[in-house]
């Protein structure tokens, strides 16, 4: 359920992998209200109760982590901007303006050893400062990624567990609709099989 809510700008590095299942985490938050309004299944379906409660906790944790992530991301880019742009090679070392040089001249041009050393030193300093800033704010990214993973596990556990009654089946269908509808994402094949298996099982009981 890929919900990918990061703004279109340079971002702190993040490991994609299973996060694609959630993608734009903010779009999943309204599900907490939907789930809270749905009647919990009681009696023999104790495991279903536990799975639904786990999803509630996952939604709440993701909402908190998202606030932390947004705040740390804002602070990160503010401090990262103070570091400045990545150093570029020295144009001043060219014999004439680069726009007037031929491709052959550019290909054969070699900066002086002094210029190369100056550039290497400036780049090393910039990298050190940039990495230090990223490390200071990495916890917000990590917390958000962990919350996304936990919620993903809770959602998949819901779909994998056979619906104990009609209310549970409706809960699954609503969950599938809210996770995928409007995101331009095809329904996960495994989840589709699990939901269809529930539907067939209930349909046979009524036949």
The pLDDT, as a whole number, for residue 8 is 31
Beta carbons of 5 and 25 less than 8 angstroms apart: yes
Has residue 177 been placed in a domain? yes
Helix (H) or strand (E) holding 169: helix 166-180
- Give the integer Cα–Cα distance in Å for 27 and 109: 52
The Cα 192–Cα 187 span in angstroms is 6
> b vs e for 24-45, b when ≥16 Cβ sit within 10 Å of the residue's Cβ?
ebebbeebbeebeeeeebeeeb
Is position 37 within any domain? Answer: yes
* DSSP-assigned beta bridge partners for residue 24: 4
35 within domain boundaries: yes
Count structural domains, the chain: 1
Q: Can you give the residue range of the structural domain that contains 147?
A: 17-86+140-206
CA–CA dist 26, 22 (Å, integer)? 9
In this structure, is residue 72 part of a structural domain? yes
Give Cβ neighbours of residue 87 (< 8 Å, ≥ 6 apart): 119, 122, 123, 126
In a domain, 165, yes or no: yes
What is the dihedral sign for C-alpha 39, 44, 47, 50? positive
In a domain, 117, yes or no: no
Q: What is the pLDDT of residue 157?
A: 94
Asked if the structure places residue 175 within a domain, the reply is: yes
Within a domain: 66: yes
Q: Which pLDDT tens digits describe the chain residue by residue (207 residues)?
A: 433 333 333 344 333 333 433 433 333 434 344 344 344 444 546 899 999 999 999 999 999 999 999 998 888 888 888 888 888 766 557 777 778 888 888 888 877 777 778 888 888 999 999 999 888 888 888 999 999 999 999 999 999 999 988 899 999 988 888 887 755 567 788 888 888 889 888 888 763
Who contacts 29 (Cβ-Cβ below 8 Å, separation ≥6)? 59, 62, 63, 66
Contact at 8 Å (CB) between 2 and 185? Answer: yes
């Amino acid at each position: 359920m890929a919900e990918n809510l990061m703004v279109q700008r340079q971002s702190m590095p993040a490991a994609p992998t299973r996060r694609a299942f959630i993608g734009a985490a903010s779009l999943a938050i309204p599900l907490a209200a939907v789930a809270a309004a749905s009647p919990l299944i009681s009696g023999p379906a104790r495991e279903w109760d536990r799975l639904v409660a786990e999803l509630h906790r996952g939604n709440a944790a993701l909402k908190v982590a998202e606030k932390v992530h947004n705040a740390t991301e804002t602070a990160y880019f503010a401090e990262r901007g103070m570091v400045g742009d990545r150093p570029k090679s020295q144009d001043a070392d060219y014999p004439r303006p680069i726009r007037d040089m031929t491709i052959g001249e550019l290909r054969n041009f070699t900066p002086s050893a002094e210029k190369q050393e100056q550039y290497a030193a400036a780049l090393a300093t910039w990298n050190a400062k940039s990495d230090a800033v990223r490390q200071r704010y990495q916890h917000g990214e990590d917390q958000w990624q962990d919350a996304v993973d936990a919620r993903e596990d809770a959602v998949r556990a819901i779909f994998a567990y056979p619906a104990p009654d009609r209310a549970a089946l409706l809960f699954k269908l609503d969950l599938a609709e809210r996770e995928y509808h409007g995101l331009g994402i095809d329904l996960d094949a495994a989840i589709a099989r699990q939901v269809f298996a529930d539907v067939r099982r209930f349909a046979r009981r009524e036949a």
